[in-house]
Amino acid sequence: MALGMSTRARWKLPLGTAGVLVLAVGAWLALDGPPPGDGAASGAPPAAMTPDTRPPPVFASPSGVPRTRDGGLDLAGAAAAQVQSPPEEEPSGPYPADLEALRAKLPDNLYWDTGVPTKEPAELRRRAEVEAKWNALFGKVQSNEATVEEVHQYYEHRRKVSEDAISFATTMLADYGDKLPSQDRGLLELSVRMHRTRLSELPRQEEEALARREAHAQRQREWRERGGGRQP
């Protein structure tokens, strides 16, 4: 990403920064839901899952954060509420955060690959392909068709997403928090709180996914031992 942008564009960036950090996770969080039943009529792989594209709920304050179907916080709804709050008047002058310095501190952070605002068609296509890959793996995990290795791979990616979001936001706040507009600080703080919550929930979710997969595999084995009649 070229950082030599106009003053006005630079003022827009941190709002996009925190918003993307929250919304990026809200995107895959919106896919979380109760696992599908195992009562398929045949042994064929399940059809591709269609993400829930309904707009996120909007609420008044972080204390009223809604919950998703898996019990987690609705990050998409949280971001929507923050972004829809009355914007501050745009200050004049350069933005008080140095993104080059942040990148030097956090060179491997996922933000630089997935969160930096861009209009480059090639980069947008690349991001769409990466997102499609993880959505496909999510579908396999939810339908109990993923291998044990793939389950671990999926949840390790989710851990990396949240850890990098926390790292980026806390570094931004530590280095520039006293200079940032209050709305930007609020978005970054919201991102930290919610990603920490998601990290605390991931071990349980991974364990449950592995247990569902094993139960499904056991039913498949029993079905084959019965001669391949009607599946359980």
- Read off the pLDDT of residues 140-170 as tens digits, 9 standing for 90 and up: 999 999 999 999 999 999 999 999 999 999 9
pLDDT at 178: 92
Task: Look up the domain containing 113 and give its range.
Answer: 96-225
Residue 2 resides in a domain:
no
Residue 18 resides in a domain:
no
Residue 230 resides in a domain:
no
pLDDT at 117: 86
Asked if 66 contacts 30 with a C-beta cutoff of 8 angstroms, the reply is no
CA distance 17 to 12: 9
Residue 60 resides in a domain:
no
Q: How many domains does the chain have?
A: 1
Query: What is the residue-averaged pLDDT of the chain?
Result: 72
Residue 4 resides in a domain:
no
With cut-offs at 50, 70 and 90, classify the pLDDT of residue 91: low
Residue 180 resides in a domain:
yes
Asked if 146 contacts 213 with a C-beta cutoff of 8 angstroms, the reply is yes
User: In 3D, which of 83, 78, 85 has the Cα closest to residue 59?
Assistant: 78
Whether 68 shows a pLDDT value over 50: the answer reads no
With cut-offs at 50, 70 and 90, classify the pLDDT of residue 92: low
With cut-offs at 50, 70 and 90, classify the pLDDT of residue 110: very high
Whether 138 shows a pLDDT value over 70: the answer reads yes
- Of 12-21, 40-49, 113-122, 179-188, which gets the smallest average pLDDT? 40-49
Q: How far is CA 4 from the centre of its chain?
A: 28
pLDDT at 18: 44
Q: Per the structure block, which two tokens stand in for 22?
A: 């929250």
Whether 177 shows a pLDDT value over 70: the answer reads yes
**Quick one: average pLDDT of 171-198?**
94
Residue 82 resides in a domain:
no
Question: How many CB atoms are located within 10 Å of the residue 116 CB?
Answer: 16
Residue 78 resides in a domain:
no
Whether 2 shows a pLDDT value over 50: the answer reads no
- Percentage of the chain modeled with pLDDT above 90: 50
pLDDT at 202: 97
- Percentage of the chain modeled with pLDDT above 70: 58
Whether 69 shows a pLDDT value over 90: the answer reads no
